[in-house]
Amino acid sequence: MTQNKNTYLTDKKFPFCPGCGHGISINALNKALQELNYGPNDVIVVSDIGCSGLIDPLFATHTIHGLHGRSPALGLGVAMGVAQKQNKKVIAFIGDGGATIGLQHILEAARRNIDMTLIVLNNLLYGMTGGQISGLSTQKYKEIIDFEKDVPPFDLIQLTHASGARFAVRVNAPNKIKETLKKAIQTEGFSIVEAASLCPSYGMKRMNDLLEVVEHEEIMEHDRPATKIVDKKVHSLLTETPVIQPAFQSNLKNRKGIIIAGSAGGGAQSVARFLALAGMHAGLETTMKGEYPITVGTGFSVAEVIFDHKPINYTGLETPDYFIIVTEDGLNKIYSKLHSNAKIYIDEKLVTEDLKNEFSNLIAVPFSKMANRKSIALAAAAYVLNQTGLIPVEALKEAVSSHRLKDIFIEVIDKVTQQAV
C-alpha cells in the first residue's frame, strides 16, 4: 500500500460525491492523529457499509472492514484483542444508517467503556440507497422533507452517555471536528463523536443549510476509568471432577434403568447424580440425565439413571425398571412411561383407586413422612436401594459424602434405612 509522508492516508482519491461532508471528517482525523503523534501501526480503523464505509481504502493504518452496522461491535472485539498491547488505538466509523442497525453494539460499547473511539458520520439519510431517512435524521430535517415528523430521532449522545460512555460529543461545525476528535482519541475509555456531514446528493446542498437542520451540539462526559482487560489465571476443569475407585459390590444382574420423578427444588437431579456416583462406587457403569421445564424453579423435575456392568451406549430409557415417584408433578410427567413390568415405588399420598386398578405393581411407601420436601427424593432413593439391594446403601452414603450438606443427607439416609430394617 502506498503511504504519503506525514499522513495516515493512502494516496487514493476520496470516493465521495463533490461537497460530501465525509471528507472533512477524514481529513480532520488525519490531522488529529498527526498532532497526537500516533504511529500508523498503532491505529486500527474499523469500518462498515454505506458511504461511511468507503473510508476503508483511504487509511494507511491497520484496517478492518466488516458488516453494515457492526463496526462498533467488531471494533470493540479488536479493542479487547489489542488491549494488552501498548498504545494501540481502535477508531471505528459508522454512518447514521449503520448506527441504528448496530444501536445495541454502540450502547454495549459505551457501557463497557473499553478504550476505543467511534465516529458517527451523520448525513441524516441513507446516501447509498437513494436518500431514505435514517433513525438519526433530525426533526427539522424531517419537517423539511415532510416525512415521519411524529417520530423523533435517536439522540446517540444522550443514549451513550446514559449507558456510561466516558466521552460523548455531537459536533456540527466542520472547524471543530479535529479538536473534538483529538480529545476523543485521548480519552481512555469509550468515546463517541457524532459529526454532522453534508450529503449534497440527497440532502442539503450547502453547509449553511445543513447547519440549520442538525441537532444542537453537545458534550457529555463521565469521570469513569476505562475498563482494563486482563487474562485471568485458569485451571483444568478435570482437577475438580473426583476420580472414583470402587469399594463396594453391586447385586446388579443386567442393565437397569431408574426414573426419579419429583418437583423442582425436591432434589431429584442431585439424587440422580448421587445414585449414579453410588453405582460407580459399586463398580458399575452409569449414565444420568435430567429433564425439567425451562422455568427451573417450578413444575416437574425428572431424572433418569442407568446402571450396567458393560459400557453404556444408548442412553434413552423407554422402559425403566424402577420408578421412584415422590410428587404429583413428577407422576404426571412420567405417567405415560409407567408399565406393568416395572417396580413402581410411589409416595402413598399419590396412589388413587384408578392408579391402583391400572397398575397392580405399585409399591406405596410413605415417602412424604420420611423426609421433608427438599429431602424426599433422597429418602425415596435410599429406601429403594435398601429394598432392592441394587447398590449398597453404603455406596450412596459414600456418594453424598463430598457434598457440603453431607451430614443432613446421611441422617436422611440412615433414618430411612433404619426404619425400613
Partner 1 sequence: METQTSQKTLIDGSKLMIEALAQAGVDTFVAYPITPSNWMYKYGKERFPQFYAAPDEITTFQWMAGMSAAGRLPATSSAFPGIALMVESINMAYAMELPLVVIITQRLGPSTGSATTGAQGDLALLNGIISGGFPVPVFSPSGFEDIWELSEKAVQTAVKFRTPVFLLTSKEMVMYQKSFDLKNLKPIKKISRPKPDIKGTYLPYKADKTLVPPFIPLGDDNHLVRITASTHDEAANIRKNDPEALANTQRLKDKFMHRIDELSVYDLDHEEGAEKIIVTWGITTDAARDAINLLRSSGNKIDLLIVKSLLPVSPEIYDILDQYQEIIIAEENLNGQFKEILFGVRPVNQVKQVNKMGNMITPDEIVSAVS
Of the residues 258, 276, 331, 413, which one makes contact with partner 1 according to CB under 8 A = 276
For residues 286 and 327, which CB has a smaller minimum distance to partner 1 in the complex? 286
Which cell is 159 given? 443514549
Of the residues 118, 284, 325, 350, which one makes contact with partner 1 according to CB under 8 A = 284
Residue 29 in contact with partner 1, rule: CB under 8 A: no
Q: How far is CA 74 from CA 27, 78, 116, 184, 413, in A?
A: 23, 6, 11, 19, 55
Residue 279 in contact with partner 1, rule: CB under 8 A: yes
**260: part of which helix (H) or strand (E)?**
strand 256-263
For residues 3 and 388, which CB has a smaller minimum distance to partner 1 in the complex? 3
User: Who's near 262: CB < 8 A, 6+ residues apart?
Assistant: 268, 300, 301, 302, 325, 326, 327, 329, 330, 376, 377
User: Who's near 261: CB < 8 A, 6+ residues apart?
Assistant: 268, 300, 301, 302, 323, 324, 325, 326, 327, 329, 330, 331, 333, 334
Residue 100 in contact with partner 1, rule: CB under 8 A: no
Residue 294 in contact with partner 1, rule: CB under 8 A: yes
Residue 273 in contact with partner 1, rule: CB under 8 A: yes
Which cell is 37 given? 503523534
Q: Is 39 exposed, middle or buried (0-12, 13-18, 19+ CB in 10 A)?
A: exposed
The C-alpha atoms of residue 375 and residue 405 are separated, in whole angstroms, by: 11
Of the residues 22, 25, 70, 248, which one makes contact with partner 1 according to CB under 8 A = 70
Residue 37 in contact with partner 1, rule: CB under 8 A: no
Of the residues 146, 150, 231, 353, which one makes contact with partner 1 according to CB under 8 A = 231
CB of 42 to partner 1, least distance (A): 8
For residues 19 and 299, which CB has a smaller minimum distance to partner 1 in the complex? 299
Residue 277 in contact with partner 1, rule: CB under 8 A: yes
Residue 389 in contact with partner 1, rule: CB under 8 A: no
CB of 280 to partner 1, least distance (A): 5
For residues 192 and 416, which CB has a smaller minimum distance to partner 1 in the complex? 192
Residue 85 in contact with partner 1, rule: CB under 8 A: yes
Own/partner pairs, 349-354, CB within 8 angstroms, 24+ separation: 350/325
Residue 105 in contact with partner 1, rule: CB under 8 A: yes
The C-alpha atoms of residue 56 and residue 38 are separated, in whole angstroms, by: 18
Residue 166 in contact with partner 1, rule: CB under 8 A: no
Give the 3-state secondary structure of 110-142.
HHHCCCEEEEEEECCEECCCCCEECCCCCHHHH
CB of 329 to partner 1, least distance (A): 16
CB of 279 to partner 1, least distance (A): 7
CA torsion through residues 235, 237, 241, 245, sign: negative
Longest dimension (CA), the chain: 96
For residues 315 and 352, which CB has a smaller minimum distance to partner 1 in the complex? 315
Residue 241 in contact with partner 1, rule: CB under 8 A: yes
Residue 421 in contact with partner 1, rule: CB under 8 A: no
Q: Which of residues 325-364 bind partner 1 (CB under 8 A)?
A: none
Which cell is 149 given? 415528523
Among the listed ranges 52-60, 147-155, 344-352, 374-382, the one in contact with partner 1 (CB under 8 A) is 52-60
Residue 292 in contact with partner 1, rule: CB under 8 A: yes
In which region does residue 344 sit, left (phi positive, over 0), alpha (psi from -120 to 50) or beta (all else)? beta
CB of 227 to partner 1, least distance (A): 11
The C-alpha atoms of residue 115 and residue 319 are separated, in whole angstroms, by: 58
Residues that bind partner 1 (CB under 8 A): 1, 40-42, 44, 46, 56-57, 60-67, 70, 73-82, 85, 88, 104-105, 108, 229, 231-234, 236-238, 241-245, 273, 276-277, 279-280, 284-294, 312-316, 318
